[in-house]
Amino acid sequence: MTIGISIIVLGVIGIIAAVLLFIAAKKFYVFEDPKIGEIEELLPGANCGGCGFSGCHAFAVECAQAKSMDGLICTGVDAEGMKKIAGIAGLTPVEAQRKIAVIKCSASCENRDPRNIYDGVRSCAIESALYQGESDCIYGCLGCGDCVKACPFGAMRLDPGEQLPHVDLEKCTGCGKCVETCPRHLCELSPIHTDRPVVWVACANRDRGPVAMKECGVACIGCTKCRKVCPVEAPSITSFLAHIDQEKCTSCGECIQACPRHSIRSSAG
């Protein structure tokens, strides 16, 4: 008998609740473009912000409402994926140049003698704010791995021996999270082509040549040799530091051979 009453009472409460929920669902119904959901399915869901929007959902909303795909690029999706997204949005896909992050420091421990040992918090932000790093170079990588922690795609790893971050070319999407994280501005986004590697100056030392030479074994000293050998004049030198213009560079590798300091690197290894 008691069981019967309980079943009836709970059943009635259930029915009332169901009716209320049905009314609420009808009354507060929000229409969402089904395209948004479909696009979001294709996005990586890392919310990295590389597209310029606050997250993957915001990007999907923008795609669904946009009139053209101009400027709408998710760095975490390959060209095939972007075509699919454009297809769902009913727009023509725009070919985008893929970018990857390169690290503008190549000074491993043997190239750059530590003058002292930093024993504080393993965070580049704090080390650069309170001290100037362990070596004499005040421009180079601090090796605490803030960029590695910041990477939403797991594309970076810290080499324990070298104390330098390395970028996995397959995984890096060029979202730019590391660029904004590095307190020494050592990460740079560089366009990568399918047929040839990226060539860049892996140094940020702006000290005069003799000073830079003392500070680090692989520091760029601004000797202009790279500029002299380059057939397309891609390297330019400002404040004793070379920088390769990726628009001009043809990845011929002449500068890598010519650099007396071995500070120019290629993504081909």
Partner 1 sequence: MKTFKIGGIHPPENKTTGDSPVVDMPVPGELRIMLSQCIGVPAKPIVKPGDKVEYGQMIAEAPAFVSAPVYSPVNGTVKKLEPTRTPQGIWQDSIVIETDMDNPVSWPAPRTQEEVNDLSPDEIIDLVGNSGIVGLGGATFPTKVKLSVPKGKSVEYVLINGAECEPCLTCDDALMRYDAHNIVKGTLLIMKATGAKSGIIGIEENKPDAIKAMKAAVSGERSLNVVTLKKKYPQGGEKQLIYALTGRTVPAGALPIETGCIVDNVATAYAIYDAIYNRRPLTERIVTVTGPEISEPGNFRVKNGTSIKDILDFAGGVPEDTGKIIAGGPMMGKAVSTLETPATKGLSGLVALPLSESLRKKEGPCIRCARCVSVCPMGLEPYLLMLQADVKKWDDMAASGVMNCLECGCCTYTCPSYRPLLDMIKLGKQELRKK
- Min dist. Cβ of residue 200 to partner 1 (A): 26
Q: Cβ closer to partner 1: 22 or 131?
A: 131
Binding interface with partner 1 (CB under 8 A):
115-116, 119-121, 123, 125-126, 129-133, 138
Q: Cβ closer to partner 1: 18 or 121?
A: 121
- Min dist. Cβ of residue 123 to partner 1 (A): 8
Q: Cβ closer to partner 1: 240 or 267?
A: 240
- Min dist. Cβ of residue 40 to partner 1 (A): 25
- Min dist. Cβ of residue 209 to partner 1 (A): 16
Q: Cβ closer to partner 1: 125 or 179?
A: 125
- Min dist. Cβ of residue 66 to partner 1 (A): 31
Q: Cβ closer to partner 1: 146 or 254?
A: 146
Q: Cβ closer to partner 1: 72 or 137?
A: 137
Nearest to 197 by CA among 146, 118, 250, 160: 250
- Min dist. Cβ of residue 228 to partner 1 (A): 31
Alpha carbon distance 161, 109 (integer Å): 8
